[in-house]
Amino acid sequence: MSTFDTLGLDAPLIQAIQDLGFTKPSEVQQKAIPILLGEETDLVALAQTGTGKTAAFGFPLIQKIDPTRKHTQGLILSPTRELCLQITNEIKLYAKYIPGLHTVAIYGGASITEQASQIKRGAQIVVATPGRMKDMINRGLINITQIDYCILDEADEMLNMGFYEDIQDILSNTPKEKRTWLFSATMPKEVSVIAKKFMNQPVEITVGSKNSGASTIVHEYYVAGSRDRYQALKRLADAHPEIFSVVFCRTKRDCQKVAENLIEDGYNAAALHGDLSQNQRDLVMSSFRKKQIQMLVATDVAARGIDVDDITHVINYQLPDEIETYTHRSGRTGRAGKEGVSMVIVTRSELRKISHIEKIIQQKFTLKNIPTGMEICEIQLFALANKIKNTEINHDVDEYLPKINEVLDGLTKEELIKKIVSVEFGRFYNYYNKTRDLNASEPSDRGDRAERSEGYSSNADSVRYFINVGSRDGFNWGTLKDFIRDTVGLGKDDVYKVDVKDSFSFFNSDTTAKDIILETFHEFKVDGRFINVEVSTEGPGNFKGKPKGKRDFDRPGFKKSKPSFDKGGYQGKGGFDKKKKFEFDPAKKSKRRQGFG
């Protein structure tokens, strides 16, 4: 078995490693350290975050730096401020027994003058984000013309984030004979291009298999109806009472919405996305690190560089657009040799993406059932029993015991246990009792399986609306769907479950589109007639006449008995047929588009 002593590291590093409690080198360390210490070479290492890669390049770099000379000798480029600070901290810990060795972090969003003065005092190792580094070079605040080593960390992420040109500019300021060590979790074409263009016959090492995820991660998928994603997410969280997780959404908007819904539903959740200020993001990350937040709902960009070791679960609320991104997401768990679970909530139509990911990560996914309400109740019941068993007794309660005994007098031990457990358990039982199975059933012949397996009412993800036009106005489900979509400026699948009645209809949209739909149809007139949309509280089956609240029927300008739609109704994109009586108000349409985009 390989130990740190056999890798060729000097005593001050070994001492620091002992202080950190690292007992044995990780795979990437075993592979990279002897190569980097043994010869002057370029290196391409395929290794995920969490595998110990910082030490894999950090130990050799520190050992090769001459602390008696003040100029910058090693430059580490990293994609995000968070990762930059994390690397800097790690390097400082590793180099703590090496007097005179200074490491400085250079990143955006903080005082450039302060960073420049730290550099001026002498920094043999500089850890930088590409944008700020380029800025400092342009302003003549840093000199990297004499570096011996350049490390590109998370190269795939840097390229994903559009830093190619910055990297190219930065490297053009470094000496030709320096050594470049490139670390990347995946090997897309762009990274190979960098390796070819800027590196000299690099030695290649791979941890696990190429493009693969860390092997301590178990991958699971859950098949739900597209409108049940949120409910499925809650069940996954409730089935894991000790969950400490990152939940990935595709857009900032979804991320914010899911986090808000979770908070409203009583979870310790918070959103992390690019619309938050740096200060807000720092606060969220600090609460997450302290585990005050159990579910961090993040976009891919915002989650880059999350360096928290104990994340138990990564939940893919939606799969990423770029399948390669999955590796980065799942790599937030299973760090530092710990076990982690990466869960994916998918609809049937997304199932083929799972096989695609399996090929990329070269690991198999397990199909799991979304837990039923009663399964969750059982899990929570035992979690509660264990919590009671493991709770340390607070002796401050002793003085109240006589009075408490009086209150509870006459209860048997069994009754007492049942009552204590019921206090907490009741919450879950009341919520989950009689809830339906969320696992999406097999596709139906009609191909509209998602719609059929779901209820018609509103839920956290989907909103059901009433609209005061129907078949009497010449609409069928298809033309009404087109009319709503085109009027609001929505996408192909954004309006669904359209149910056309005689003089009114129902339809659904995702909750994210609710505001724009209601805003669009607020005071919305076609040829003097108000077209009114309201959130429905009734399903089509049990709708008994006019919904509650103020309706168009009551508004001036609407004559119920004389509908103004021609029988031909809506004629497709671009508005009503000019021959027909309704026309769009273009001013209104452009305002709406702005609001939604």
In the complex, least distance from residue 586 CB atom to ligand AMP, rounded to whole angstroms: 54
In the complex, least distance from residue 63 CB atom to ligand AMP, rounded to whole angstroms: 16
Nearest to ligand AMP of 191, 269 (CB atom): 191
Residue 164, token pair as written in the block:
């190619």
Q: Which stretch binds ligand AMP (CB under 6 A): 24-32, 102-110, 168-176, 351-359?
A: 24-32
Q: Is the dihedral of CA 134, 61, 18, 311 positive or negative?
A: positive
82-141 positions binding ligand AMP, by CB under 6 A? 90
In the complex, least distance from residue 28 CB atom to ligand AMP, rounded to whole angstroms: 8
Task: Report the chain's terminal Cα–Cα distance, integer Å.
Answer: 57
Nearest to ligand AMP of 337, 547 (CB atom): 337
Q: Which stretch binds ligand AMP (CB under 6 A): 45-53, 137-145, 312-320, 445-453?
A: 45-53
Exactly one of 49, 72, 509, 511 binds ligand AMP (CB under 6 A); that residue is: 49
The kind and range of the H/E element at 102 are none
For residue 144, what is the DSSP state? -
* CA nearest to 345, candidates 313, 380, 377: 313
Contact 217, 330 (CB under 8 A): yes
Q: Which stretch binds ligand AMP (CB under 6 A): 46-54, 118-126, 480-488, 518-526?
A: 46-54
Is 208 near ligand AMP (CB under 6 A)? Answer: no
**Strands laid side by side in the 203-206 sheet:** 103-106, 125-128, 74-77, 149-152, 179-184, 43-46, 203-206
Q: For ligand AMP, how many residues bind (rule: CB under 6 A)?
A: 15
Nearest to ligand AMP of 215, 564 (CB atom): 215
Cβ-based neighbours of 255, under 8 Å, separated by 6 or more: 249, 271, 272, 273, 297, 298, 299, 302
Is 174 near ligand AMP (CB under 6 A)? Answer: no
Exactly one of 30, 36, 46, 54 binds ligand AMP (CB under 6 A); that residue is: 54
Contact 104, 127 (CB under 8 A): yes
Count CB atoms within 10 A of the CB of residue 320: 19
In the complex, least distance from residue 340 CB atom to ligand AMP, rounded to whole angstroms: 12
Is 335 near ligand AMP (CB under 6 A)? Answer: yes
In the complex, least distance from residue 187 CB atom to ligand AMP, rounded to whole angstroms: 17
Is 333 near ligand AMP (CB under 6 A)? Answer: no
Exactly one of 2, 14, 15, 22 binds ligand AMP (CB under 6 A); that residue is: 22
Burial class (CB in 10 A: 0-12, 13-18, 19+), 348: middle
Is 78 near ligand AMP (CB under 6 A)? Answer: no
* CA nearest to 476, candidates 444, 509, 500: 500
Exactly one of 31, 53, 132, 179 binds ligand AMP (CB under 6 A); that residue is: 53
Is 51 near ligand AMP (CB under 6 A)? Answer: yes
Q: What string of H, E and C letters represents the secondary structure of 59-86?
A: HHHHHHCCCCCCCCCEEEECCCHHHHHH
For residue 510, what is the DSSP state? E
Residue 520, token pair as written in the block:
């669009």
Cβ-based neighbours of 478, under 8 Å, separated by 6 or more: 498
Is 554 near ligand AMP (CB under 6 A)? Answer: no
Is 212 near ligand AMP (CB under 6 A)? Answer: no
Q: Which stretch binds ligand AMP (CB under 6 A): 51-59, 356-364, 399-407, 461-469?
A: 51-59
What is the spatial distance between Cα 447 and Cα 588, in angstroms, rounded to a whole number?
36
Site pattern 274..313 for ligand AMP (x: CB under 6 A): -----------------------------------x----
Is 489 near ligand AMP (CB under 6 A)? Answer: no
Is 477 near ligand AMP (CB under 6 A)? Answer: no
Q: Which amino acid is at 149?
A: Y
In the complex, least distance from residue 205 CB atom to ligand AMP, rounded to whole angstroms: 14
Nearest to ligand AMP of 53, 234 (CB atom): 53
Task: Report the Cα 320 to chain-centroid distance in Å.
Answer: 9
What is the spatial distance between Cα 305 and Cα 294, in angstroms, rounded to a whole number?
18
Nearest to ligand AMP of 193, 336 (CB atom): 336
Q: Which amino acid is at 410?
A: G
Nearest to ligand AMP of 2, 41 (CB atom): 2
What is the spatial distance between Cα 36 and Cα 64, in angstroms, rounded to a whole number?
9
Exactly one of 32, 43, 50, 77 binds ligand AMP (CB under 6 A); that residue is: 50
Is 213 near ligand AMP (CB under 6 A)? Answer: no
Exactly one of 7, 9, 13, 25 binds ligand AMP (CB under 6 A); that residue is: 25
Nearest to ligand AMP of 51, 511 (CB atom): 51
Is 55 near ligand AMP (CB under 6 A)? Answer: yes
Contact 434, 377 (CB under 8 A): no
Q: What string of H, E and C letters represents the secondary structure of 398-417?
A: HHHHHHHHHHHCCCCHHHHH
The three-class DSSP label of residue 484 is helix
Nearest to ligand AMP of 27, 42 (CB atom): 27
Binding site for ligand AMP (CB under 6 A): 22, 25-26, 29, 49-55, 90, 309, 335-336
